[in-house]
Structure 1
Amino acid sequence: MNTPARSHPETAPRPRRRRRDLRTTLVAVLVATVAVVCLAVGIVTHASLRTQLDAELDAQLHRAADRAVDRVQHAAPDGGPAGAPEPLPSPPSDGTSTPEPESGEFELTAHGEDEELLKAVWRDPEGTVHALSAEDVTVLEEALDERGDGPPTTAPLSIGTYRVVARDLGDGTLVVTGLPTDRMRSTLLRLDLTLLGAGAAALVVTGIGGSSIIRRTLRPLDGVAQLASEVARTPLEHGSVSLERRVPAAHTVPGTEVGDVGRALNHLLDNVEGAIEVRQHSEEAMRRFIADASHELRTPLTAIRGYAEMLRLTEDLGERGLQSIDRLEVQSARMTALVEDLLLLTRLDEHEPRPEEDVDLGEIVMESVMDARAAGGDHPVDVRVPDDPVVVPGDPRQLTQILVNLLSNARKHTPAGTGIDVRLREADGRAELVVADAGPGIDPGLVPEVFSRFTRADRARSGAEGTTGLGLSIARAITEAHGGTIDLASRPGRTVFTVSLPLVGA
């Protein structure tokens, strides 16, 4: 039982990641750089302003602590009830005024480490004095590890986050003063939002402006790439080719990336054009030589065949002589066919005008198959053509030669008894002629050059079975001259030639 082959995990092809083009990469790098700079500026600005605001808040807190200590020292000794909100203290006896507490400021006054709490109040933004809860007092006691003067610290209270500082008056009285940090955090939040908005705007402007500048800068490269693509699509294999387009002089200035690429491409095109001209001259010289030689060979070949026939008719030859005359006629006929093939290839290469008429390809197929059956009865030929005519424009004699050469190729390169299938059909406005055989197939190394001239399946043979190596090259040349294509697919047990020709009116 056949099982599908499994690809080895180590040899299975990995999907290739799609690379971004240069323009996208440059814009991405530019935007990323600006983003990093904006982030660094934002971090430094935030840290600098936070340090400044912390210093200002601590200075403000120390002033508030001084005012609280001053109020405690000038307050009446009997005070109010413990933990109850109290009005602002009355002016001292010496006539000086006691500073007012700020909005949100709280004061906590205690005597001794275990003494009764005298006052714990705070003022809301409207100026109303409220009692500080026992929970907040506990938080303050935990935040202030020990009583006495010390640096300010931060305490999270139920009324908000506060910077607090303690002052020990030296007589067992501890005054704790705090200021809210909401204003500082609000300022930092506004700063962060402003920096974020400015950074986003900078990234958008950088992306749009950078993309426009990079696109304008790299636009000449697009022209260079387009020119190179046009040259790459130009058929350079044969015929006269003109490469007139060049990169403009404005884009070939040395010392710049675009200029260096443009100059290099112009030099490359000059070299390619020079090589094509040399190749064209060589092809024309070879074509003229083949045409002249073929024309010159026609006369002596005709004379050889004529003298051979005259010798057969006028001379009394023995068996060896008759065999020699037969051999002479066969070889002269083969040489004449080779000369005619070379002349045909020369005319096709030079694109000489040919007679063109509407040709029923079905009739050509049937006639050619009948001739093939008569010439090679040891190869059964199966043919199938549509009932309706398949009409193509062209030269009927040349179109017939395509099928004759393909059938001859199948007979000569397959064992006796190998079946040959000929199919003709219409597909997508074109006529498709398929000639297939069940022979051993064509060597994979020979497939790329099977349509080249003088290509033989067995390189050691030279003209065996009348093979010249021109049949398939003539078939391709005639097909291309009629605006068609010929393809080959071969494997052991199946070789298929497919000829595609345009239909009349297509």
Structure 2
Amino acid sequence: MAAVIGFVSLILIIVAVITSATLGTSLEGRLQDQLSRIASQTTVLVKQAQILTVAGRPMTAQNVLAGQNYPGLLLAIASDTGATGALVTSEGTTALTDSQFEALTDAVNKSPSTSVDLDGLGSFSITVREYGGIGIITGLSRDEVQSTMAQLLTVITLATLGGLILLALTTAITIRVSLRPLRAVAGTATRVANQPLDRGEVTITERVPASEADPRTETGMVGAALNTLLDHVNDSLASRQKNEERMRRFVADASHELRTPLASIRGYSELSLRDRELPENTQTALERIQAQSLRMTRLVEDLLLLARLDEGQELVHGTVDLAQLALEGLADARPTAPEHHWNINVPEQPVIMLGDAGRLHQVVANLLANARTHTPAGTTITLSVARERDEAVIRVHDDGPGIEPPVRDELFARFARGDSSRARQTGGTGLGLAIAKAIVEGHHGTITVDSTPGDTTFTVRFPLTPASGTGEADPAGTAQ
């Protein structure tokens, strides 16, 4: 709008200047032609008055103009006997004052054909002629020219302002109507952007209305292109979801099927190790087979658990006291690393929520195991539980070496491994934090980590319903 109105304003100003200049030149030319004719007539009148002067009648400008009905006609006569000047008005003939006559003569001395402003009379165009030693100054009022120019400028100004206002309104309406499809596109894109597309089954049903996606217009082409893009994205998300479900079923089925042979391997190895007459090499090999089968079993169990959590299974909700859960979790973790310093900070009042006690205990156990495994001896590990507004918060803090940023970004991914600063000292599946995240998200919570050297904190937040946050649940329902 600013660009259009600016360009149109410039064009109108140029047109106004050219029109005013052309009309002003034309009016000035007509005035000069008229002045030239009247100057010839006044010369004749002066000749006649000179003859009458011989007859005894004095020759003055007023006598010369007597009987002339031409308002705005100015006449000044200068001779050896004196100088007089007069102006014809609608009421008659008026003599010029000394100051007015002096201003008139000064203008004539500067230029014989010019314009002069006389005090109280206005502006005049004048010309000078001479006859028989008499200087004759003839002038015509420029009031009509100036009035016409003033009216023209007023009309141009008002017309320009009115035209610009009309142009602004028309442009605004045109732009709003023309860009309405883009607002529909923006609205559709915003609604799609607010949908959770990162996981789970996703169906994008939002589309730009067909009336705003007409490919025959430029803005309609944008809407049509967005609809095409959304169709493609929706198909891709559906395909991704099918692949994920297929992979999840494969992992779950494979994990389930592997449990039986792994149990058999572990059973046969245990049975074989009962034979005291086994050679030492054979016994060592069986012990390795048993250890690896146990490790493989843990991995299969973790994969099966993740697959079931992804499907929304495995969670059995009940009343859980997070403070009691933390106490039990720390009691279980303390004997596994006596060289660490263990602290706990829980409120006196229970922190009650609805959840799966067993899985929540697994979250606490995994976080404590992670802190124990990846920190050196002597590290202080603090487990705390608190209620913050409408959330239950669990924090596991340690003053170990910290987590490198590249590792921290992928910490909750499956099979994640730490770098040398938090090197794994014992065997593990690399799925502990991924399982913890899946359990937390299954309870509609969040898990985050903040880490700098000497200060690492895992924070788990669970939403509390009004009933679950009061701490007045039946103690018999508290998880043990």
TM-score, structure 1 length as denominator? 0.83
By how many angstroms is 1:305 displaced? Answer: 2.9
- How far off its partner does 1:502 sit? 0.3
Match of 1:108 among 76, 79, 82: 76
Within a 5 Å distance, the mapping from 1:326-405 to structure 2 comes to 326-352=287-313, 354-405=315-366
8 A Cα contact 1:162 1:178, kept in partner? no
Change (3 A) 1:375 1:460: closer
Q: Quote the offset at 1:162 in angstroms.
A: 2.6
Q: Which residue of 2 aligns with 1:6?
A: none
Q: Residue 129 of structure 1 aligns with which residue?
A: 94
Indicate conservation of the 8 Å contact 1:140/1:155, yes or no.
Answer: no
Offset of residue 109 of structure 1: 0.9
Does 2:87 match 1:118?
A: no
Q: Which moved more, 1:39-48 or 1:300-309?
A: 300-309
Q: Distance in 1 between matches of 2:279 and 2:389?
A: 62
How many Å apart are 1:127 and its aligned residue? Answer: 3.7
- Alpha-carbon shift at residue 446 of structure 1 (Å): 2.2
Q: 1:497 to 1:64 in 2, by over 3 A?
A: farther
Whole-Å separation in 2 of the counterparts to 1:146 and 1:188: 25
1:146 & 1:279 partners in 2: Cα distance? 95
Counterpart of 1:37? Answer: 11
Q: Is the 8 A contact 2:418 2:424 kept in 1?
A: no
Q: Deviations over 1:77-131 (max 9, x none)?
A: 279889xx8644487xxxxxx533423x3221112xxx45321233556445132
Within a 5 Å distance, the mapping from 1:190-229 to structure 2 comes to 190-229=151-190
1:271 corresponds to which residue? Answer: 232
3-state DSSP of counterpart to 1:177: strand
**1:53/1:90 CA distance change after superposition, 3 Å:** closer
Distance 2:389 2:444 in 1: 15
- Describe how 1:281-296 pairs up with structure 2 within 5 A: 281-296=242-257
CA contact (8 A) 1:391 1:504 kept: no
Does 1:52 pair with 2:13? no
How far is 1:474 from its partner? 1.0
Using the TM superposition, give the Cα deviation of residue 312 of structure 1 relative to its aligned residue in structure 2, in angstroms: 4.1
1:228-275: CA deviation from partner (whole Å, max 9, x where unpaired):
222333333322211233334444443421232223223322322232
Query: Which runs of 5 or more residues in structure 1 are unaligned?
Result: 1-26, 92-97
Q: Percent identity?
A: 38
Distance in 2 between residues matched to 1:50 and 1:110, nearest whole Å = 32
AA aligned opposite 1:217: S
The structural deviation recorded for 1:327 is 4.2
Q: Are the counterparts in 1 of residues 103 and 118 from structure 2 also a CA contact under 8 Å?
A: no
The 3-state SS of whatever aligns with 1:455 is coil
Structure 2 contact 384–394 (Cα < 8 Å) conserved? yes
Contact preservation (8 Å) 1:80, 1:118: no
Asked if 1:77 is matched to 2:53, the reply is yes
- For the pair 1:300 / 2:261, whether they are aligned, the reply is yes
Q: Which amino acid aligns with 1:99?
A: Q
- SS of 1:466's partner is coil
> SS where residue 219 of structure 2 aligns?
helix
The aligned length equals 464
Cα deviation per residue 1:6-35 (whole Å; 9 max; x = unaligned)? xxxxxxxxxxxxxxxxxxxxx222222322
Tell me the equivalent position of 2:36.
Answer: 62
Return closer, same or farther for 1:355/1:143 CA change in 2, 3 Å cut-off: farther
TM-score for the superposition, normalised by structure 2: 0.87
SS in 2 for 1:169: strand
Secondary structure at the counterpart of residue 379 of structure 2: coil
Work out the CA distance in 2 between the residues paired with 1:46 and 1:223.
48
Aligned mates of 1:168, 1:401 — CA distance in 2: 120
Q: 1:351 to 1:107 in 2, by over 3 A?
A: same
Range with greater deviation from structure 2 (171-180 or 158-167): 158-167
2:432 pairs, out of 457, 468, 471, with: 471
The SS at the match of 2:53 is coil
| Cα distance between partner residues in 2 of 1:320 and 1:127 | 146
| Distance change (3 Å), C-alpha of 1:81 and 1:475 | farther
Query: Structure 1 residues 365 and 129, CA, compared in 2 at 3 Å: closer, same or farther?
Result: same
Over the aligned positions, Cα root-mean-square deviation in angstroms equals 2.9
C-alpha separation between the residues in 2 aligned to 1:356 and 1:30?
65
- Residue 402 of structure 2 aligns with an amino acid whose one-letter code is G
Query: How far apart are the structure 2 equivalents of 1:493 and 1:359?
Result: 32
Corresponding position of 1:10: none
